[in-house]
Amino acid sequence: MFEARILQGSILKKVLESIKDLVTDANFECTANGFALQAMDSSHVSLVALMLRSTGFDHYRCDRDVTMGMNLLNMSKMLKCADNDDTITMKADDAGDVVTFMFENPKADKISDFQMKLMDIDTEHLGIPDTEYEATVKMSSNEFQRICRDLSSIGDTVTIAVTKDSVKFTTSGDIGEANITCRRTSDGDMKEEKVKTEEDGEKVHNTKSSEGQNVDIDLQEPVTLTFALRYLNSFCKATSLCENVRLQLSKELPVVVQYLIEDMGYVRFYLAPKIEEEDADES
């Protein structure tokens, strides 16, 4: 028996809004550890990884591991029937060919339950290597969304160039070219911060970031990579999940676009860069 109750149902709604356009069908893996999903988009260019840890739920019970194959569009339809301030409970028995979504409003005078048939989806469970990235950029998720949206009105791809002090987004198209450069917010603070980070671990770093640190760059090696804006714009639907987005880049590796979900986990999107030689093939 699997049962997971999340007080703030809007989180689950937002998560599905952010991935349902990318992936049509996917297996949710329910374990004692949490509620997780990994799936490639239908064109096999991008990958989404969701983790909602069991500790982040209001109530969580998972007697044995369950795989729930769902059509994300249908799941999203049902979640849309929940109010943003509803509590959402997901349930499946071990036989597990049906999932139940239960919505309760805060006053508990309206209770809805929605049943959806589960599907058999065979997927190769893609192990994602835990790489060290050459560049890590943390910035306002709103700003990142704005940049991706703005640039897609000019071109189809964006080249992201990360240096020690800035991240530059570049595109070009029929009507012209565009460069958007975001400087790392404060050089002095950053150096100090880095020292502290090494001493005290990630925590100081995070605290600093939330204190008006707009762009935060952690660089081993300058990186320049090109991506399809179409996918980045899709990823940006997760913007409302988190104030900040983290981009991780390494030469010839997929970018990782991560939105943290407070106290619960994350949504991560992976997108392979365009290889220059392949540009002709992609168009």
Residues near DNA (CB under 7 A): 10, 17, 21, 80, 83-85, 142, 149, 237, 240
Q: Which of 55, 84, 115, 220 binds its own copies (CB under 8 A)?
A: 115
117 lies in the site for its own copies, by CB under 8 A: yes
Nearest residue (CB) to its own copies, 114 versus 266? 114
3-state DSSP assignment of residue 153: coil
Nearest residue (CB) to DNA, 62 versus 232? 232
3-state DSSP assignment of residue 164: coil
- CB within 8 Å of 250: residues ≥ 6 apart: 131, 132, 133, 134, 135, 223
Question: Which among 137, 132, 123 has a CA at the least distance from the CA of 23?
Answer: 123
Nearest residue (CB) to its own copies, 102 versus 261? 102
Q: Which of 24, 33, 67, 112 binds its own copies (CB under 8 A)?
A: 112
- Minimum distance between the CB of residue 132 and DNA, rounded to whole angstroms? 33
Nearest residue (CB) to its own copies, 54 versus 213? 213
- Minimum distance between the CB of residue 94 and DNA, rounded to whole angstroms? 33
Q: What is the 3-state secondary structure (H, E, C) of 37-88?
A: EEEECCCCCEEEEEEEEHHHCCEEEECCCEEEEEEHHHHHHHHCCCCCCCEE
Q: Which of 7, 40, 121, 178 binds its own copies (CB under 8 A)?
A: 178
232 lies in the site for its own copies, by CB under 8 A: no
- Minimum distance between the CB of residue 106 and its own copies, rounded to whole angstroms? 12
> Would you mind telling me the total number of residues written for the chain in this entry?
283
Residue 63 tokens read as 């007697």
177 lies in the site for its own copies, by CB under 8 A: yes
- Minimum distance between the CB of residue 155 and its own copies, rounded to whole angstroms? 11
The one segment of 4-12, 55-63, 74-82, 226-234 that binds its own copies by CB under 8 A: 74-82
- CB within 8 Å of 118: residues ≥ 6 apart: 68, 69, 70, 92, 96, 97, 98, 99
Query: Rounded to a whole number, what is the distance in angstroms from the first to the last CA of the chain?
Result: 48
Residue 278 tokens read as 């392949």
Q: Which does 237 bind (CB under 5 to 8 A by kind): its own copies, DNA, none?
A: DNA
- Minimum distance between the CB of residue 149 and its own copies, rounded to whole angstroms? 9
110 lies in the site for its own copies, by CB under 8 A: yes
- Minimum distance between the CB of residue 118 and its own copies, rounded to whole angstroms? 10
181 lies in the site for its own copies, by CB under 8 A: yes
Residue 264 tokens read as 């619960």
- Say if strands 215-219 and 176-183 run parallel, antiparallel, or are unpaired: unpaired
- CA angle, residues 105, 119, 234, in degrees to nearest 5: 65
Between CA 35 and CA 68 the distance in angstroms is: 10
- Minimum distance between the CB of residue 214 and its own copies, rounded to whole angstroms? 6
Which residues here bind its own copies, judged by CB under 8 A? 71, 74, 77-78, 80-81, 107-117, 143, 150-151, 153-154, 175-183, 185, 214-215
